[in-house]
Amino acid sequence: MIIAITGTPGTGKTGVCNASGLACMDLNSVIAEQGFYTGVDAERGSLIADLAKLKEYVRSKEKEQKRLVIEGHLAHFLNPDVAIVLRANPLVLAGRLRQKGFPPQKIQENVEAETLDIILAEAVERCEVVYEVDTSGKSVEEVASLLRAIIDAELEEEKERERRSLRERYKPGSVDWTSFFEMICRTATYH
Task: Give residue-wise pLDDT tens across range 8-53.
Answer: 999 999 999 999 999 999 999 999 999 999 999 888 778 999 999 9
Q: What is d(CA 147, CA 182) in angstroms, rounded to the nearest whole number?
A: 32
Residue with the larger pLDDT of the pair 63 and 178: 63
| pLDDT cut 70: percent of the chain above it | 94
How many DSSP H helices and E strands does the chain contain?
Answer: 9, 7
Contact 138, 92 (CB under 8 A): no
Q: Domain limits of the chain?
A: 2-186
User: Where is 183: in which H helix or E strand?
Assistant: helix 181-186
Confidence at residue 83, expressed as pLDDT on a 0 to 100 scale: 98
Residue 127 predicted with pLDDT over 90: yes
Look at residue 123 in the predicted model and tell me its pLDDT: 98
Comparing 46 with 141, which gets the higher pLDDT? 141
Q: Which of 187, 12, 44 is nearest to 108 (CA)?
A: 187
**Dihedral (C-alpha) 31, 34, 37, 41: value to the nearest 10 degrees?**
60
Q: CB under 8 Å to 41, separation ≥6 — which residues?
A: 47, 48
- Chain centre distance of CA 16: 10
What does the alpha-carbon distance between residue 178 and residue 181 come to, in Å, rounded to a whole number? 5
Which pLDDT value is given to residue 81? 96
Radius of gyration in angstroms for the set of CA atoms belonging to the chain, rounded to a whole number: 16
Whole-number Cα distances in Å, 72 to 31, 33, 123, 161, 187: 10, 15, 12, 29, 27
- Total-model pTM: 0.92
CATH code of domain 2-186 = 3.40.50.300
User: Taking a C-beta distance cutoff of 8 angstroms, is the pair 80, 127 a contact?
Assistant: yes
Distance CA 85, CA 67 (A): 18
Whether the predicted pLDDT of 190 surpasses 60: no
In this predicted model, what pLDDT tens digit does every residue of 66-113 receive, in sequence order? 789 999 999 999 999 999 999 999 999 999 999 999 999 899 999 999
Looking at residue 161, its pLDDT comes to 96
Q: What is the pLDDT of residue 176?
A: 87
Can you tell me the distance from the alpha carbon of 178 to that of 116, in angstroms, rounded to the nearest whole number?
Answer: 7
Kindly write down the DSSP assignment for every residue of 65-100, as one continuous string. Answer: SS-EEEESTTGGGG--SEEEEEE--HHHHHHHHHHT
